Amino acid sequence: MGNELGIIPLVTLLTAFGTLVVAVILIIQVRVSIRSQKDAHQSFEDSKKSYEIDILFKLGENLQKEKMILIAGNIANDEPIMIENGGKFSEYDLMRYLTIFQNIYHFTQMKILEPTNVYTQFGNYLIGISKNEEIRNYIKLAQENQDSRTWEGIYTLAKQMQTIFDQRQNPSST
């Protein structure tokens, strides 16, 4: 019987030691899992940024086509755009130009593009579009003849760009 009393503390000690080992292993696994999750999250964020840069680049390429550059110049210089108003471009040309910015709006709504990055690349274009009387008239007519929301994303995005512009011009007001 004396032998049994020595085994019980030994078994208890081994059980406690085994529990401790299991606990340490679990803690290590949790730490590795958390680190892996952090690494995966960082990798996801890096991929998202890379994807955003690719989209911004491709949208920028679309604006570098000759007609798009000339339309942007007419807007910046407040010159007529469409042929019917004394400009050199068709309604189709203007529609293609505006579609680029409508797409940018949709990308920001889907959180694929960040508004501050859009501002950096396209803010001046959007602000110019929103202030151009010929484009405002074109959009108003399109909204009357089609869906009232036609091209509305451009104005929404232009307002965001103007807000970012104002904040950068007067940082103390934010």
Is residue 126 assigned to a domain? yes
Is residue 57 assigned to a domain? no
> Does residue 85 share a domain with residue 18?
no
> Does residue 69 share a domain with residue 8?
no
Instruction: Give residue 138's pLDDT band: very low, low, confident or very high (50, 70, 90).
Output: very high
pLDDT digits (tens, 9 = 90+) for 79-99: 999 999 999 999 999 999 999
Structural domains of the chain, count: 2
Is residue 56 assigned to a domain? no
> Does residue 146 share a domain with residue 73?
yes
Is residue 132 assigned to a domain? yes
Q: What percent of the chain has pLDDT over 70?
A: 86
pLDDT digits (tens, 9 = 90+) for 55-75: 888 888 988 999 999 999 999
Is residue 16 assigned to a domain? yes
Inter-residue contact 97 to 132 (CB < 8 Å): no
Average pLDDT, the chain: 85
The reported pLDDT for the residue numbered 4 is 56
Q: HEC string of 14-29?
A: HHHHHHHHHHHHHHHH
pLDDT digits (tens, 9 = 90+) for 29-54: 777 777 767 766 677 666 777 888 88
> Does residue 166 share a domain with residue 80?
yes
Instruction: Give residue 174's pLDDT band: very low, low, confident or very high (50, 70, 90).
Output: low
> Does residue 159 share a domain with residue 81?
yes
Is residue 52 assigned to a domain? no
Is residue 151 assigned to a domain? yes
Which residue segment(s) compose the domain that 87 sits in? Answer: 65-173
> Does residue 69 share a domain with residue 142?
yes
Is residue 55 assigned to a domain? no
